[in-house]
Copies of this chain bind each other. A is one copy, B any other.
Amino acid sequence: MSEYNDPLDQAHELSMSAADLDANSIAALRLAIARKDHDSIRILMDGEHPADIADMFEQLSGDARETLIKLTADVLIPSVLAELEDEVVEDVLSLLGPKQISEAVAELDSDDATQLIEELHVHRRAEVMAALPDRHREEVEASFAFDHETAGRLMQREFVAAPEFWTVGQAIDHMRAQGEKGGDALPDLFFDLYIIDTHFRPLGYLPLSGLIRCGRDVSLKSVMQTIPALIAPDMDQEDVAYLFEKYDLISAPVVDVDGRLSGMITVDDMVEVIQEENKEDMLALAGVSEAGLTDTALTTVRARAPWLLVNLVTAVCASFVISLFRDEITELVALAILMPIVASLGGNTGIQALTVAIRALVTRDLTQANTWRVIRREALAALMNGVLFAVLLAGITYIWFKDPYLSVVIGVALIFNFVCAGLAGILVPLGLKKAGADPAVASSVFVTTVSDVIGFFAFLGLASVFLL
Contacts and interface: CB of A to CB of B under 8 A. Distances in A.
Given A239-B18, A388-B305, A11 B230 contact: yes
Given A8-B257, A49-B228, A279-B359, A337 B311 contact: no
Interface string A350-371: 0110111011100111111110
Contacts of A336: 322, 326, 329, 333, 336, 339
B209 A190 contact: yes
Given A232-B12, A368-B20, A212 B259 contact: no
Nearest to A367: B21
Given A14-B229, A293-B365, A369-B21, A384 B287 contact: no
Interface stretch (A93-101, A118-126, A170-178): A170-178
Given A259-B6, A293-B370, A349 B190 contact: no
Contacts of A21: 364, 367, 369
Contacts of A59: 367, 369-370
Interface in A433-452: 448, 452
A296 B377 contact: yes
A245 B259 contact: no
Contacts of A232: 8, 11-12, 15
A204 B264 CA distance: 27
Contacts of A329: 329, 333, 336
Contacts of A463: none
Interface of A: 6-8, 10-12, 14-15, 18-21, 23, 26-27, 49, 51, 55, 58-59, 172, 175-176, 178-180, 186-187, 189-191, 201-202, 207-216, 228-232, 235, 239, 242-250, 255-259, 267-268, 270-272, 274-275, 278-279, 281-283, 285-288, 291-293, 295-298, 300-301, 304-305, 307-309, 311-312, 315-316, 318-319, 322-323, 326, 329-330, 333, 336-341, 343-345, 348-349, 351-352, 354-356, 358-360, 363-370, 374, 377-378, 380-381, 384-385, 388-389, 392-393, 396, 448, 452, 456
Contact of A259 (B8, B216, B369): B8
Contacts of A293: 360, 365-366, 370, 374
Given A329-B336, A363-B275, A369 B8 contact: no
A245 B8 contact: no
A59 B191 CA distance: 33
Q: How many copies does the complex hold?
A: 2
A319 B339 CA distance: 8
